[in-house]
Amino acid sequence: MEKQEKIKKLKDQLKKYEERLAYKMKTYRGVIHENALSELKHSEVMVLRDMIDSLKREIYSIENS
């Protein structure tokens, strides 16, 4: 049962980060160089994408172990 609880917790986190990324992508226009705010937004989007990818890989590995 612990395995199922962990998967549920990870899927909840995944949903939260996917929603946050979707919200950020509404105003994301890529990197405008020489604009610090644009570069910070880009960094935040990239971090969220990486977190989502990591969660998906972890869920996959738990489900298939």
pTM: 0.88
CA distance 44 to 3: 30
Q: Highest-confidence range of 6-10, 25-29, 35-39, by mean pLDDT?
A: 6-10
For the chain, domain boundaries: 2-63
Residue 7 CB-half CA count within 13 A: 11
Mean pLDDT value of segment 26-30: 89
Is pLDDT of 12 > 90? Answer: yes
Is pLDDT of 1 > 70? Answer: no
Is pLDDT of 30 > 90? Answer: no
